[in-house]
Structure 1
Amino acid sequence: MIALIFTVLASCNKVDSEGEKNIAAAKGMFAAFNNHNWEKMASFYTDTAEFLDPAFGQAYVRKTQPETAKKYAEMHQMFQDIKDDITGVTAAGDRVVVQFTSSGTPGGAAKWELPICSILTFKDGKIIKDATYYDNQ
């Protein structure tokens, strides 16, 4: 019985440890985004990751790290001050849910703000799947 309790406690700590590592990686990815370091940001993903994003359509698409870096570099060209402010983050197993507000100012126009939620799936410390939800209308 004691051995069973220790086994359960040890597995709980492993999940918490995995979740903490994944949260740290997610926050690192957002820090690279806010520093406009697109190659570093893309390095938090596997060589090819799956993305669900209204910008790509209704279905998951596969993107390489260079394609991911290029997408955000192009976005940066449109919004020089683009940044994400995390408002909530939680982990469960291999998934991290990040709530954040993205903002930026297009040249000569008013600043915009957009609430976004991303569900990041991790494997071996890297993001393998990024499901991002926001109102794109």
Structure 2
Amino acid sequence: MKNVALLFSIIFTVCSCKDQVKTPNLDPSKKEKIVQQYFEYYNNHQWNELATLYSPIADFKDPSFGPEMTIQTRRQTITKYNKLNTLFADLHSEIVKIYPSDEQHIIVELVSTGTAADSTKFKLPICKIFTIDKGKITQDFTYFDNFDDSNSDK
């Protein structure tokens, strides 16, 4: 009888230690759809709609905010893009490639363009890393070279 009880306890222990299947946070195709929707809103300058893709409070890393991470509300996000759109009326971003990453992250390579009021044009390669949790963007980390190196030998 002791052997049977010991056998059952060993079987129970082995079975309970088995790796549990973890359901993904979000289907990779859904993350990509969120990113596609983001850039559709961006290119149509629909800042209110774009802000709804973010969680109510999101983390941002962006050279325009300085070197540190900052926290923004949806309202602050709308304000930021409205100001940017005021400076560059034809603001547009073209996705070069989307790189799905782990269950919460997706990386986007893009080129942003625009024309200032003085007719100065810009073309800027950018990399964005989005963290998406429960269908909302919780982190938006943006990287680009904002130094003018037009005098370089490159």
Same fold (TM over 0.5): yes
- Deviation per CA, 1:108-129: give whole Å up to 9, x if none: 2231100000000010010000
Match 1:54 to one of 29, 45, 63:
63
**Once the 2 structures are TM-superposed, how far is the Cα of residue 91 of structure 1 from its aligned partner?**
1.4
Amino acid at match of 1:62: I
- Runs ≥4 in structure 1, deviation > 2 angstroms? none
State the alpha-carbon separation in 1 of the partners of residues 42 and 75 from structure 2: 14
Cα distance in 1 between the residues matched to 2:67 and 2:86:
25
Query: Cα offset for 1:104?
Result: 0.2
Given that 1:23 and 1:90 are in contact with CA atoms closer than 8 Å, whether structure 2 keeps it comes out as: no
Q: Does 1:110 align with 2:134?
A: no
Aligned counterparts of 2:27 and 2:100: Cα–Cα separation in 1: 9
Tell me what 1:22 maps to. 31
Letter in 2 for 1:47: P
Alignment of 1:87-106 (within 5 A): 87-92=96-101, 93-106=103-116
Aligned counterpart in structure 2 of residue 125 of structure 1, from 135, 140, 152:
135
Name the structure 2 match of 1:6: none
Count the aligned residue pairs: 127
- What residue in structure 2 maps to residue 34 of structure 1? 43
1:82-119: CA deviation from partner (whole Å, max 9, x where unpaired): 00000000212110100100000001223110000000
Partner AA of 2:86 in structure 1: Q
Q: How far is the alpha carbon of 1:136 from its aligned partner?
A: 1.1
Q: CA deviation at 1:19?
A: 1.2
Give the root-mean-square deviation of aligned CA atoms: 1.8
- Return the structure number with greater helix share: 1
**2:150 counterpart residue number:** none
Aligned partners of 1:18 and 1:94 also within 8 Å = no
Structure 2 residues not aligned, in runs of 5+? 1-20, 148-154
**Larger C-alpha radius of gyration, 1 or 2?**
2
Q: Tell me the TM-score normalized by structure 2.
A: 0.77
1:122 corresponds to which letter in structure 2?
I
Identity %: 32
